[in-house]
Amino acid sequence: MRFPKRPMSTDEADLTPMIDMTFQLIAFFMVLINFTKAEASDEVKLPDSDLARPPETVPDFRILVSVLADGRIMHGGAIIDRATLLKPYLDRELLSARAQRVEVGKIKVIIRGHMNSKMGKVQEVMEVCREVGLEDFTFRVKERPRLPGMNRFTPLDVGGRSPRPGPSASPRSLAAVG
């Protein structure tokens, strides 16, 4: 049995590709949000700083390491008791970077230290990173909230003297953590 062919109207557009693309974008952003949440763990309460500023450039490859309040280390969702046990994880990250053709010098290690963690633990993490050849570090901190009308820079104790904002102390001359 033959069905009569109806002529297609030219004013109707096929919406299937647009709907398909919309669902793909929704799925992409849902996955992206989940990765961002995994990196920024609530277990790490960052210290605040007056000199916090966003990074000027986006690194080619980054490795995120968190130091928890009790001194344990977190990387990629895994919690590690000692800094020396971080080495295999860093080796795996280096292999991943090499597979993406990223030079070791362009890999940035981002260390998120809990505000109550000991600085010695952060130094241990840095030492293990240096052992595998990673030298570029960034420390994550929260920007300290400022009251309206307050000066942008607060005096810091640098070698027994406090720099004052002015012509000699610019934002670039003050050591900031990004």
Confidence of residue 58 (pLDDT cuts 50, 70, 90): confident
Q: What residue ranges in 95-173 does DSSP mark as E strands?
A: 107-113, 136-139, 142-143
Residue 67, domain member (yes or no): yes
109 - beta bridge partners?
63, 137
Contact between 76 and 89 (Cβ < 8 Å): yes
Residue 103, domain member (yes or no): yes
Confidence of residue 39 (pLDDT cuts 50, 70, 90): low
Give the residue, 160 or 79, on which the prediction is more confident. 79
Q: Give tens-digit pLDDT for 121-156.
A: 888 999 999 999 998 888 876 655 655 655 544 444
Strands 78-80 and 73-75: antiparallel
- Work out how many domains the chain is built from and give that number: 1
Residue 99, domain member (yes or no): yes
The C-alpha atoms of residue 63 and residue 95 are separated, in whole angstroms, by 12
Residue 41, domain member (yes or no): no
Q: Is the pTM of this model over 0.75?
A: no
Q: Give tens-digit pLDDT for 79-122.
A: 888 888 889 999 999 999 999 998 888 898 988 888 888 888 88
**Is the predicted pLDDT of residue 173 greater than 70, yes or no?**
no
Give the residue, 173 or 124, on which the prediction is more confident. 124
Q: Give me the amino acid identity at 57.
A: T
107 - beta bridge partners?
61
The C-alpha atoms of residue 60 and residue 68 are separated, in whole angstroms, by 26
What counts of helices (H) and strands (E) characterise the chain?
A: 3, 7
Residue 107, domain member (yes or no): yes
Residue 13, domain member (yes or no): no
126: domain range? Answer: 48-143
Instruction: Write out the two tokens for 46.
Output: 């960052």
- Of 20-24, 32-36, 115-119, 130-134, the range with the lowest mean pLDDT is 32-36
Residue 12, domain member (yes or no): no
Residue 100, domain member (yes or no): yes
Output DSSP code: residue 166. S
The C-alpha atoms of residue 117 and residue 39 are separated, in whole angstroms, by 18
The C-alpha atoms of residue 40 and residue 162 are separated, in whole angstroms, by 34
Whole-number pLDDT of residue 145: 61
Q: Give me the amino acid identity at 118.
A: K
